[in-house]
Structure 1
Amino acid sequence: MLNELGYDGVPAVEDGDCDEGWPRVWWAPGGPLGLLPLHAAGYHTDSADDPHRRTVMDRIVSSYTPTVRSLRYARERTLSPAAVRSLIVAMPTTPGLPNHGRLRFVEAVHLTSAFQLTGFPHVIGTLWEVDDQIAVTIADLFYAALQTDFGLDPARAAHALHKAVRRVRDGHGLPAPFDRRRAPLLWAAYLHAGA
């Protein structure tokens, strides 16, 4: 599909920052397709320095949206200076809920989309429970990529997450026994929803 859209290789604008030069694709999967990490599809066994890598994340910056209408709304919100706000929720269990409130695979996608639908133009979430050490690495890389001379720029969220996940996928910060080519469960869960 990406070949048909003209995204047939690593973008020529490989400046290390993964900013404006990378094309964006918004996924709006429905049904069982919504349970898959479409942004992580491909052959991740290719060498990290191969200019012809065959993966989605080496061709585009991915974002998810539950509907086209919610994407339009999120984009409108990013144009307003009053819309710049953040909310971080880290809650592995919720006492009083069935199974102690542990989120299942399906619910995680809906939770990310729910935050977008309530007005947050950029939401970072995961498709499944993630490794704590990798989460810290992803967060460090993510916030470093959001940083500008004037502070954090939330408009760069999709690009910042993309850059962070690619770095971990390529082996940065992976614990000792893991081979980057055989550890997608450590990095493929992270996704951006919104504008």
Structure 2
Amino acid sequence: MPYEVIHLAASLQFAGVQSVVGTLWSVNDSTVQRLVEAFYRHLCRDGTMNSKRAARALHRAVQSLAGDKDMPLDQRIVFMHIGI
């Protein structure tokens, strides 16, 4: 329906992107930087990028943030994965 709203991550998936990482609300730049570094380290661990590893890579990256008790909880649980 034309009055429904979808978020950016879902719209990318509808456009054909197989695997999308997004956020549920705004997030601090420093948090995103730490997460992205950990995410790509896990995603490309053998030197190749494989979208089938995206969900696990995100999970491990979020786990790396979970140990930082100085980071607010809402900044540690904001990330989501959609796709394969």
Tell me which interval the TM-score lies in, with the shorter structure as reference length.
0.7 to 0.9
**1 CA distance for matches of 2:30 and 2:19?**
23
How far 1:151 moved relative to its partner?
1.9
Q: Give the structure 1 partner of residue 13 of structure 2.
A: 116
Q: Give the structure 1 partner of residue 32 of structure 2.
A: 135
How far 1:150 moved relative to its partner?
3.9
Structure with the largest fraction of helix: 2
**Gap change, CA 1:150 and 1:132, over 3 Å in 2:** closer
Sequence identity percentage: 31
The two structures, once aligned, show a CA RMSD in angstroms of: 1.7
Q: Is residue 160 of structure 1 aligned with residue 57 of structure 2?
A: yes
Q: TM-score, normalised by structure 1?
A: 0.38
Q: Which has the higher contact order (CA 8 A, sep 6+)?
A: 2
Q: Is residue 190 of structure 1 aligned with residue 79 of structure 2?
A: yes
- Aligned letter for 1:113? A
Query: Displaced runs of 4+ in structure 1, greater than 6 A?
Result: none
The CA deviation string for residues 99-125 of structure 1, in whole angstroms up to 9 with x for no partner, is xxxxxxxx6x62111111111110010
Q: Is residue 151 of structure 1 aligned with residue 40 of structure 2?
A: no
- Aligned letter for 2:75? L
Between Structure 1 and Structure 2, how many residues are aligned? 80
**2 CA distance for matches of 1:152 and 1:122?**
12
Q: Give the structure 2 partner of residue 64 of structure 1.
A: none
The CA deviation string for residues 117-166 of structure 1, in whole angstroms up to 9 with x for no partner, is 11111001001110111110000000000113342222111100010011
- Give structure 2 stretches of 5+ with no counterpart: none
Q: Secondary structure at the match of 1:130?
A: coil
- Aligned letter for 1:190? F
- Give structure 1 stretches of 5+ with no counterpart: 1-106
Q: Secondary structure at the match of 2:7?
A: helix
**1 CA distance for matches of 2:45 and 2:34?**
19
Query: How do 1:62-141 residues align onto structure 2 when only pairs under 5 Å count?
Result: 110-141=7-38
Q: TM-score, normalised by structure 2?
A: 0.83
